[in-house]
Structure 1
Amino acid sequence: MLTAVAIAVAAALPHRAEAQARPADHVIVVSIDGLRPEFYLEHRWPAPMIQTMAVEGAHARKVRGVTPTVTYPSHTTIVTGALPARHGVTNNRPFEAGGESGLWFMESDSIRVPAIWDAVGAAGLTSGGVSWPVSAGSAIDFNVPEFWSVSGREGELTGIAANVAALRSRTTPRGLLAEIERESLGPFPDFYWGRNRSREDAVGAMVGHIIEKHRPNLLLVHLNQTDYHQHAEGREHSEVRLAVATVDRAIARMVEATRRAGIADRTAFIVTGDHGFVDVDTRVAPNVWLVEAGLHEDRPDRGEWRAAFHPAGGSAFLRLRDPDDFAAVAEVRRTLEALPPGIRALFRVVERDELDERGADLDSPLALAAVPGVNLIGDTSGEAVQPGSGGAHGYFPDLEEIHTGFVAWGAGVAAGRTVPLMGLVDIAPVIAALLDLDFEAPDGVLRPGILSAGDGR
């Protein structure tokens, strides 16, 4: 009898050791779109949950983003540890030679390198996602991706109904969204897309359901109302404060869900963002200059174009119809150099060598980097320089206001630690270390001091 017991205990020991080797059994990554470090560093912002996490756990005073500092490349960097030139998602929208159709980088097959969810699956663990960009069709087990109908029509459905139908078709497993509606959320809300703070309450309910019912080892969540309101009102408006309070409440709801699920003591939270924000006073449409130079036509399909700027807010990337049309590049340079000095001072021309150093769009021979306060847009008609308002991002990541943030809290995380500066590329290594995954972040490193010393990291 004792021999049988000893054999049983011995057989169990490797599994126990393996479980103990993992600093956290569950990691919940919450991306707050437009997160600025002051939201958790300064108590004037109504974010008690995130601020508590920052004090009790580890946080960065600032996080350097990627080029350009826009949502989809940034979120792809978070889950790959790779820069945009390597992972392939170089803007929110792919450049379309025949004119913009409304297409975004929503499908995960745009990602050219392994993502953290691939490593989770390879380790025999499970993953979940709610509104995570560029995750449709991915290997995430329980996934309600960020997705909508590009055409605005799904069969006989149009508008919001078409968006909901499109989202259902891309949710995995297929009945997950119906399950969430039936058991936790109620009918899917019309306000899920667009500027409405109640959207984050819906996301909180969806995430809570996945935590309590499915308990994935990795859960990726995207909250976006802070982005919408900073675009509309700028950095310091009261509506932004309300949006911050709303996302903080949603995160608190997720924490409560881990307690109800009985996994709170084995769960680590990572709260991060994709970019900061800059107040805007001027809009510049560089494609207007290309139309005037005969390099582009003022038509939705671009007409007989040779060169076009692909805008990203605080930056714009030159694309060529013929990649070998060096004469077109030279004409673009002459056009920009001929501008009045006051207009020329609104941006700088960034050469290919610098774009390579930054890991930016491989298909652009040059780019424009706007000065703070200038938002680059894609218009091909009207005034090239116009008054602007609200806020923007997409600037090169050197700018102080464009830095985002990072907070880690919970299982496996060091207490009361501050990292002065880290990169967005350095977040995937933290996730991998917490879950003890075999994952290589090609452009990121695990910053010392984030994980607790007892985990040997």
Structure 2
Amino acid sequence: MLHRFIKLICFLLGLVLFQSAFSQDRPGHVVVISIDGFRPEFYLDSSMPTPNLQEMYKQGVAAKEVTGIFPTVTYPSHTTLITGATPKDHGIYYNTKIEEDGSAGGWVYDFKEIKSKTLWQAAKEKGLVTASVSWPVSVNAEYIDYNIPEFWSFENPMDRRGATSEKAHPKGLFEEVVKNATGTLEINDYNLSSMSMDQNLARIAGYLLREYKPNLLTIHLPLTDGAQHRQGRKGNLVRKAIAGADTAVGIIRDALDKAGIGNETVIIVTGDHGFVDVHTQIAPNVILRQHGLHQQSEGRPKAFFFSAGGSAFLHLEDGNDRKTLERIKQIFAGLPLEVRSTFEIIEEDKISERGGDPRAKLALGAKRGYSFSNDADGDLMTYKRGGKHGFYPNFHDIATGFVGYGKGMQEGEIIESMYLEDVGKIVASLLQIELNQGTTFYHSTIKK
């Protein structure tokens, strides 16, 4: 079969194998930039404040949409980006752990939680140099040579500086980048409250590129997520955050040129999920409680829904309790139309299709305008306006994007659609390293 993506992109019955036909066109360096809440409109819509992304889109390879995993939330999605696997294989099912009572526990941050091989490991096995800045689930990642992980203080979550310094590798790296890249950081210079966060992360990445010239650098820019949670898909704050992320991309591009490796580098800009405008929040555990299935006593409820925003996953105390499962299906199928019309029931086979939690017995997928909470008391529905993700990835608004720009990338190629797990496989092919996920990429026709 014929392969092309760096110089050539070909396809056979919709299954695309990505591999350069020309070894001289392989990059020596790959930079993966994840923009949280990255939507294809950021580069496809010429009215967006994104001159860097639009230039890269026009001069490189881009996708009209990238279908996410289920649920479409940050930490599982970023683990898919770095492994080429879906959550059912890599083991990061949600942003947080689930407590015994069904509530959200601490965030999943430790690299040891990942069950699949990562790009960092594959790169190190080939003797390549790796670096990462603010990537989710990268704390204690032994395969990252220069690591500034995404982490914060449990006592004061707004203050990320000391906790990041403690977990940075090698020791002293955080102090090194502050001295040489950002200058003194006040508390709000390095958290999600300030537009300066993305730029400071980009400056840190730029310093690592200039000083250590890693073959693989991954960086997560988080601020566009918070803006869209507050305002939805549109709004002045959202445009400011998008412009800020684009500026961060420009800082990294500039650093590559200053490092003398710009012509030997491919930059991949992608994301974890899109966003959906919402107005109402649903509490499905209220229904379970009304039927005696979600007791408020200590310990694990007989059944509970765990919210991922645009979806909620059903967990049973006894995973083999088919009687309770069927009863819950009947309860939710028989709800009044004004409630039943706000969500769809997602069966186990559909959960598995996009790699969702294999422990979940079914899920609820919110219709546009709605989202879920973990609440088990109070009103079934409450007014809550803003933006959400976590939806089942079967419509455009929740899709993320992809832009590939740099050495050997074919100018003006458009991918109609691809999957989130394709990104890790593409990076592996660019660097000629081996993941455990194979090399088959799924997407539709390429337009020239």
Same fold by TM-score greater than 0.5: yes
Corresponding residue for 2:270? 272
Q: 1:266 to 1:173 in 2, by over 3 A?
A: same
Q: Aligned equivalents of 1:222 and 1:344: distance in 2?
A: 37
**Residue identity opposite 1:166 in structure 2:** A
Helix, strand or coil at the partner of 2:85? coil
Corresponding residue for 1:383? 379
Corresponding residue for 2:402? 406
Helix, strand or coil at the partner of 2:107? coil
Corresponding residue for 1:69? 72
Q: 1:266 to 1:432 in 2, by over 3 A?
A: same
Corresponding residue for 2:419? 423
Number of aligned residues: 424
* 1:303 shift after superposition: 4.3
Which sections of structure 1, spanning at least 5 residues, go unmatched?
1-18, 451-457
* Runs of 4+ more than 6 Å apart: 446-450
Corresponding residue for 2:175? 178
Helix, strand or coil at the partner of 2:207? helix
Corresponding residue for 2:304? 308
Corresponding residue for 2:6? none
Q: Aligned equivalents of 2:259 and 2:354: distance in 1?
A: 42
- 1:201-238 per-position Cα deviation (integer Å, ceiling 9, x unaligned): 11111111111111111000101111100000111111
* 1:243 shift after superposition: 0.6
Mapping for residues 21-32 of structure 1, pairs under 5 Å: 23-32=26-35
Q: Aligned equivalents of 1:447 and 1:375: distance in 2?
A: 29
Corresponding residue for 1:16? none
Which sections of structure 2, spanning at least 5 residues, go unmatched?
1-21
* 1:254 shift after superposition: 0.4
Corresponding residue for 1:219? 217
Helix, strand or coil at the partner of 2:31? strand
Corresponding residue for 1:167? 164
- Does residue 141 in structure 1 map to residue 145 in structure 2? yes
Q: Aligned equivalents of 1:79 and 1:449: distance in 2?
A: 25
Q: Aligned equivalents of 2:347 and 2:444: distance in 1?
A: 34
Q: 1:22 to 1:79 in 2, by over 3 A?
A: farther
**Residue identity opposite 1:285 in structure 2:** A
Corresponding residue for 1:194? 192
**Residue identity opposite 1:169 in structure 2:** E
* 1:289 shift after superposition: 1.3
**TM-score with structure 2 setting the length:** 0.90
* 1:266 shift after superposition: 0.5
Corresponding residue for 1:258? 256
Helix, strand or coil at the partner of 2:39? coil
**TM-score with structure 1 setting the length:** 0.88
Q: Aligned equivalents of 2:144 and 2:252: distance in 1?
A: 19
* 1:117 shift after superposition: 0.7
* 1:95 shift after superposition: 1.8
Q: Aligned equivalents of 1:236 and 1:308: distance in 2?
A: 33
* 1:287 shift after superposition: 1.1
Corresponding residue for 2:347? 351
Q: Aligned equivalents of 2:429 and 2:241: distance in 1?
A: 32
Q: Report the more deviating stretch, 256-265 or 92-101.
A: 92-101
Of 97, 120, 141, which aligns to 1:117? Answer: 120
Alignment RMSD: 2.1
Q: Aligned equivalents of 1:130 and 1:93: distance in 2?
A: 20
Helix, strand or coil at the partner of 1:394? coil
* 1:99 shift after superposition: 5.1
Corresponding residue for 1:297? 295
Of 40, 45, 61, which aligns to 1:42? Answer: 45
Q: Report the more deviating stretch, 111-120 or 327-336.
A: 327-336
Q: Aligned equivalents of 1:101 and 1:449: distance in 2?
A: 41
Q: Is the 8 A contact 1:81 1:444 kept in 2?
A: no
Q: Report the more deviating stretch, 338-347 or 251-260.
A: 338-347
Mapping for residues 95-110 of structure 1, pairs under 5 Å: 95-98=98-101, 100=103, 102-110=105-113
Q: 1:167 to 1:101 in 2, by over 3 A?
A: farther
Percent identity, aligned pairs only, is: 39
Corresponding residue for 2:133? 130
